[in-house]
């Protein structure tokens, strides 16, 4: 660990010397990269230097005690506090060495799709969208629908939406996977409890510079919007469908009245999906490591059960059950997200 910290400090000093170069501001891309790298290392270096200073003070106090004399008593009183502070700083350094997810600060695209359970699954997909919308409202995040396929009973076979705000992906990445609901459906006359499932995908918004797309490999289809809306629905050709021919990925957007705005939104989703495909291919070699992380984002994994008769929500990844399902479905998800983040941090820290 100390070898790694020394390398970080050397890199930090090199960056500070680079920032002192007056020519740096002439290259804005290089300037932004340098400032960002400096900010990312600053907290680690400051903690490391505080640890070094505390370790020196502890050594000096022990030497005074060993030497005896007038100051030995005062030094002996300081040692327990210095030892405690040093242990705290060492733990802090371990935490800071845990690799930060480069996507944590990004906005996200969320895709909710009804799975097993037919109409009841579609209704629960709508419930999840409402839950995420209220959570976003509490966090001062902005939600915008990209595309949706509603049902006659006010459910969603599929809904795709964007969430914009501060560190959205850092919080929402734990939602990726299969969400199972156990309750009596509104359409069930006999009162039997049914089990249905919904799949959630959470994609960090990709930068266009990260993923290059050949326009010749994207087929663009234009069609009339469908579903609830104003006069433009079914009369104006504003909806866009993009098909990435090499991968077969299809994205469509019909939320905006403007064809251009729909195309831009759809392109952002397509870029994010392509980035996810690329990262999944790269991570196959690290499959064992990914399984140890709570936020692996595996869509095939059953991550949570919502049991309405018991007023219970259970997250299977960390074995935690909370008994305030109604409040949870109204967006009060902070406690569970904190527990997931802590478990994820602990798993990564164990590897460090």
Q: Provide the pLDDT confidence category of residue 231 given band limits of 50, 70 and 90.
A: very low
Residue 227 has pLDDT above 80, yes or no: no
Give the model's pLDDT for residue 318: 95
Q: Which residue has the tokens 């076979």?
A: 157
Residue 29 has pLDDT above 70, yes or no: yes
Tokens read off for 247? 């991968």
> What does the pLDDT average to over 309-325?
96
Which top CATH class is 108-207+290-351? Answer: alpha beta
Q: Could you tell me the residue ranges of all domains in the chain?
A: 2-97, 108-207+290-351, 215-283
Residue 89 has pLDDT above 80, yes or no: yes
Mean pLDDT across the chain: 85
Torsion sign over Cα 285, 291, 295, 297: positive
Q: Which of 46, 52, 41 is nearest to 15 (CA)?
A: 41
What confidence tens digit (pLDDT) does each residue in 265-308 have?
Answer: 888 888 888 887 877 776 565 444 444 445 444 445 799 999 99
Please state the φ and ψ torsions of residue 111, each to the nearest 5 degrees.
-120, 120
Please state the φ and ψ torsions of residue 112, each to the nearest 5 degrees.
-110, 125
According to DSSP, the β-strands at 194-204 and 239-244 are unpaired
Q: Which of 179, 321, 134, 330 is nearest to 313 (CA)?
A: 321
Which top CATH class is 215-283? Answer: alpha beta
Give the model's pLDDT for residue 206: 82
> What does the pLDDT average to over 82-100?
86
Q: Which residue has the tokens 């969208």?
A: 129
Q: Rounded to an integer, what distance in angstroms lies between the CA atom of residue 49 and that of residue 197? A: 51
Give the model's pLDDT for residue 246: 87
Give the model's pLDDT for residue 283: 59
CATH classification code of 2-97: 1.20.58
Q: Are 110 and 133 in contact (CB under 8 A)?
A: no
> What does the pLDDT average to over 169-181?
95
Give the model's pLDDT for residue 259: 84
Give the model's pLDDT for residue 68: 82
Instruction: Please tell me what DSSP assigns to residue 199.
Output: E
């Amino acid at each position: 660990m100390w070898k790694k910290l020394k390398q970080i400090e050397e890199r930090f000093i090199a960056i500070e010397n680079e920032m002192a170069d007056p020519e740096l501001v002439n290259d804005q891309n290089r300037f932004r990269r340098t400032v960002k790298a400096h900010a990312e290392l600053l907290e680690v270096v400051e903690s490391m230097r505080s640890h070094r200073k505390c370790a020196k003070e502890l050594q000096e106090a022990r030497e005074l005690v060993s030497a005896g004399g007038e100051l030995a008593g005062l030094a002996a009183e300081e040692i327990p506090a210095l030892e405690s502070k040093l242990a705290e700083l060492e733990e802090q350094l371990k935490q800071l060495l845990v690799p930060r997810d480069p996507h944590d600060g990004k906005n996200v695209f969320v895709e909710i799709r009804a799975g097993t359970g037919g109409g009841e699954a579609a209704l629960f997909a709508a419930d999840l969208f409402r839950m995420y919308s209220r959570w976003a409202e509490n966090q001062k995040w902005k939600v915008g629908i990209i595309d949706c396929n509603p049902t006659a009973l006010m459910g969603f076979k599929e809904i795709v939406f964007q969430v914009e705000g501060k560190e959205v992906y850092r919080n929402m990445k734990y939602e990726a996977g299969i969400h199972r609901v156990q309750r009596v459906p509104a359409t069930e006359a006999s009162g039997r409890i049914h089990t249905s499932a919904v799949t959630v995908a959470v994609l960090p918004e990709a930068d266009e510079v990260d993923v290059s797309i050949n326009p010749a490999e994207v087929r663009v289809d234009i069609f009339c919007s469908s579903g609830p809306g104003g006069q433009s629905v079914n009369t104006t050709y504003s909806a866009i469908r993009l098909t990435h021919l090499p991968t077969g990925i299809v994205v469509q957007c019909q939320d905006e009245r403007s064809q251009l705005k729909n195309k831009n939104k759809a392109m952002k989703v397509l870029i994010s999906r392509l980035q996810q495909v690329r990262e999944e291919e790269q991570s196959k070699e690290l499959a064992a490591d990914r399984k140890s992380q709570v936020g692996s984002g595996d869509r095939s994994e059953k991550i949570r059960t919502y049991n309405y008769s018991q007023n219970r929500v259970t997250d299977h990844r960390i074995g935690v059950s909370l008994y305030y399902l109604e409040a949870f479905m109204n967006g009060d998800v902070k406690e569970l997200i904190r527990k997931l983040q802590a478990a994820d941090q602990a798993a990564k820290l164990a590897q460090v």
